[in-house]
Chains A and B, each alone.
Chain A
Amino acid sequence: MPENIFHNPTLISYIVKSIKETYPEKQISKTFIQKLFYLLSRKDVVDFDYSLYHYGPYSSQVSSELNFAEEIDFIVIDWIPEKGYFISPGPMYSSKLLLQNTEKTERDAINEVAQKYGAYNAIELSIITTALFLKENFGVNDKSNLVEVVSSLKPQYNKERISNLLANTLQSWEIKTMANLLSSAHEDLAVQYGNVFNPDYTKVHK
């Protein structure tokens, strides 16, 4: 079936709306959305490729979806000089479109991420997601090492503050790592014995 091109823009407008409801004065910027979607991609709600830069994980695919969401009025992107981007829900956003283009599990995951990370600012999210990226892609597991590497990229934040931020997210990392191990084990078995498992198994449990 043809891909629903409104799926990702709807998710973006929904997460913007959810955070705006809880934090009306919040600066929701492109950077902020980039990092939130990095966290959502770890929950298998979305599947975007990210690369790491000195400013944290970045996905050109999320950037493209932001442009498209703005073009079709799902979000409005304003620019305030010397402050940055401010994103708000657009005039096309509606509950009908939300139900039409998203699943309940996706909305639940967005609510969870919005609740857990909505209070942070873009720099804090950048620190958290950089640490997660380092851990999951480059095998940097030792916490003090993580703090060292992240602080070298974020000299404006002291190490103690970075350490505290990362401590708050440590528990969810461990859950994810365990899920990855299960997923890898499943794939190894599939290679050895043929894919006799339900193909959705990996998606559900990863």
Chain B
Amino acid sequence: MSEVYEIRDPIYGFITFDEWEKDIIAHPVFQRLRRIRQLALTEMVYPGATHTRLEHSLGVMHLATKMYDAIIRDDENKRLLKEKLQYKEAGSERDRHLVRLSALLHDVGQPCFSHASEDLFENNPLTGKAYKHEDYTVELIKGPLREVIENHNLNKNNFKITSDEISALIQGNPSILGKKIFWKVIISSQLDADRADYLFRDSLHTGVKYGLYDLDRLLVTITLGKDPETDDIVLGVKEGGWHVAESLITARYQTFSQVYFHKTRRAYDIMLQQFLVEIIKKLPPPTKLDEFLELDDYAVWHMMRESNSSYWAKSILKRSHLRKIHETKDVPVQKDIENNNETEKATKIIKLLDSKNIWYREDCAKGVWYKLNNEESDKEIWIISKERTSSPLSQYSRIVKSLSDSRQTRIYVKPQDEKEAKSII
């Protein structure tokens, strides 16, 4: 019998783990997450937002387990899993560990300052597109973490879970995991443990209350159904729980506008990117993991303090941030669409700034929304009837039906140019 360890968490009270997971948590690759802030320089706006990816990762493991247990507890869910995925009850404890470890490790490849530095990823020569943090996660799980994952006695004597399987669940690779990639929906979907944790945690630490929702209700209403069009098995909530699904979606939209796309917070993201481009140009690729691992938030703060000549470093250190001089509407109206008014106006401003040699940056909400929801961002959550037929949340909630992703674009200039920029536009 493995010993059970516990750790205090500001949201869940206690998070428990076994000695195998304890060793993984203690590994330097995982401990690095202590030095990666969850929300980059958001603390410049909300001083309490100093929480880290380590805290979040433990929370996701805890919540993913609760979700898995809630699904498996229900006989009808088990019947669906048997019918569609040939689920075997005998393997459920192994699957549970696979889900827990994938949740625990899903963020180990986060770069310094999380999403704020993702624009600095190099291009992957195999895809022609920029690397994603999941690429680093997979390389770390298959590389430096392999030993502690595969060779722990608890694993060798019971589950024989491999690093490749954990990577495959995070990536969604059925060539290794087969039908079991279904469980990816708990790690990454519109109803996943990742989002369910970060909304709560970011709310708690920023002090912005919009991210709160009824987590207990969510856990007793989470269930499985069938997509009426494709007959695929889907994760959703029971009809009686549609209000909690609605509050989860509205929490996400409100937190986006109040925290993630806050105008000053975004100014610091841009300044941080400028400094990183100046000092390192690009993040080390997954083929240079040692260099990547060295580059945590602390290392970048140290570089900032040492960079006497950097405008960006000095500005961040003395909290002198970019100024927003223009913003477009959240969602354009008919007249704007027909005449392309908003784009025309922004183009004109940019030309004027160019003509005066004033430095500026555009920042579009779309990019932030994309980055934040790099796996699933649908405002729809499946609402599942007793007969297991599924309908989208917007059929129940007028609020959700009317929600739209922001397409606002802002233009920022340096503080010393604000007056001149405003006078010419």
Contact = CB atoms under 8 A, between A and B. Distances in A.
Interface of A: 1-6, 27, 29, 31, 47, 49, 51-55, 58, 60-61, 63-64, 67-68, 71-73, 79, 81-85, 92, 97, 100, 122-123, 126, 134, 137-138, 140, 145, 149, 152-153, 155-156, 180, 183-184, 187-188, 202, 206
A68 B366 CA distance: 10
A83 B227 CA distance: 9
Interface of B: 84-86, 123, 125-129, 132, 171-175, 178-179, 181-182, 184-185, 188-189, 227-234, 331-332, 334, 337-338, 340, 343, 346-347, 350, 362, 364, 366, 369-370, 373-379, 389, 391-392, 394-395, 403-405, 407, 409
Given A1-B350, A149-B175, A54 B232 contact: yes
B378 A63 contact: yes
Nearest to A3: B364
B179 A153 contact: yes
A79 B334 contact: no
A52 B171 contact: yes
A134 B175 contact: yes
A184 B228 contact: no
B228 A84 contact: yes
Contact of A122 (B85, B230, B362, B407): B230
A140 B175 CA distance: 7
Given A2-B343, A67-B379, A187-B125, A51 B228 contact: no
Given A54-B181, A72-B332, A83-B229, A134 B174 contact: yes
16 contacts: A31-B227, A31-B229, A52-B171, A64-B405, A67-B405, A68-B404, A72-B332, A73-B334, A82-B228, A97-B338, A123-B229, A152-B179, A153-B181, A180-B126, A184-B125, A188-B125
The 8 tightest CB contacts between A and B, nearest first, are: A84-B229, A71-B404, A60-B377, A52-B172, A2-B346, A55-B232, A63-B378, A5-B407
B188 A51 contact: yes
B109 to A, nearest CB: 15
A140 B331 CA distance: 42
B38 to A, nearest CB: 20
Contacts of B185: 53-54
A188 B125 CA distance: 8
Contacts of B129: 47, 49
Contact of B373 (A60, A126, A155): A60
Nearest to B183: A54
Contacts of A73: 334
B229 A64 contact: no
B374 A184 contact: no
Nearest to A146: B175
B131 to A, nearest CB: 11
A60 B230 contact: no
Nearest to A82: B228
Contact of A54 (B174, B369, B404): B174
A187 B347 contact: no
Contact of A67 (B85, B86, B389, B404): B404
Contacts of A60: 370, 373-378
Contacts of B188: 51
A134 B181 CA distance: 13
Contacts of A138: 171, 173, 175
Given A183-B128, A187-B125, 13 more contacts: A31-B227, A49-B129, A53-B185, A53-B189, A54-B184, A55-B230, A60-B376, A71-B405, A72-B332, A81-B391, A122-B230, A126-B230, A202-B128
Q: Among A49, A52, A54, A68, find the residue whose CB has the most chain B CB atoms closer than 10 A.
A: A54
B286 to A, nearest CB: 15
A100 B233 contact: no
B88 to A, nearest CB: 14
Contact of B175 (A31, A126, A145): A145
Contacts of A31: 227, 229-230
A132 B344 CA distance: 40
Given A63-B378, A67-B405, A152-B174, A72 B230 contact: no
